[in-house]
Amino acid sequence: MKPQIVTFLIKCPDQKGIIAKLTHFFYQEGFNIVSSQQYTNEEEQRFFMRLRVASDDSVLLSKDQLEERFARLAEAYKITWKVDYGRKKQKVAIMVSHTSHNLYDLLHRHKENKLLCDVKMVVSNHEKLKPIADMFGIPFHYLPVSKETRKEQEADLIELFDSNNIDLIVMARYMQILTNDFINHYPSRIINIHHSFLPAFQGANPYRRAYERGVKLIGATAHYATEELDEGPIIEQGVERVTHESTPTSLKKVGADIETMVLARAVSCHLNNQIIVDGNKAIVFPMTGE
């Protein structure tokens, strides 16, 4: 039987000997450390670690026992932590409005097993992109919204997502501003793609404003949604060089390619448990040949 890989994401105040304490704990419990990645923010004296450990039939601890014992260590060293056991694909909902390129890209990657998840549904406030969901055999849910019906629509969204045990919500150009109540219901579980290299050109029509400013670089940013519009922890960004000859239309074409790449990388990082959110920053550990 293939050993089970367990991933721990850890953050705490930096302190002498913390790596030794953590690795010794897993040694004592009979685990083999597959990979260990750590980062220390010296300015803020914060320590971050992504630890992957392997168990086999000789390790008789249950999940509850492992977490109970680790919790005692965590309390002693003021550790905030999350653990993933790696045997259940995360359930994903994709939210869209009119623009199709991000949806096409995510569903194609999912079909080719390049995104390790289970895309349960596509949700939209318009019916325009239903044929794409149908093409890939993904259930499509049409939930129109207006200023007057926003609270009711979001209540329906929450019921839909929670009843399907959705782990991650991907806003693949869903062009609606979510309420704080909705965002706070899914902390660090909503990824948004913004068609600008944040913090530049926040909000609507960034390509038009980039054109008006005569920029020489355009980009895209994938970030977690928070109460502050386009201010959440940044997961991934990308840029391309442009010239004075660029038009709003040509900027959009270049930007669409950047968006798909950036969003796919961000979603993959989340699914692979590579991200630790600390305040308004996302610590993103690189893949280690997994």
Active site residues: 230
Cα 284 to Cα 76: distance, rounded to the nearest angstrom: 26
Query: Cα–chain-centroid distance for residue 167?
Result: 10
* Residue 117 near residue 90 (C-beta atoms within 8 A): yes
Contacts of 39 (CB under 8 A, 6+ apart): 47, 48, 49, 283, 285
* Residue 275 near residue 84 (C-beta atoms within 8 A): no
Task: Report the half-sphere exposure of 175 (CA within 13 A, side-chain side).
Answer: 10
SS3 120: strand
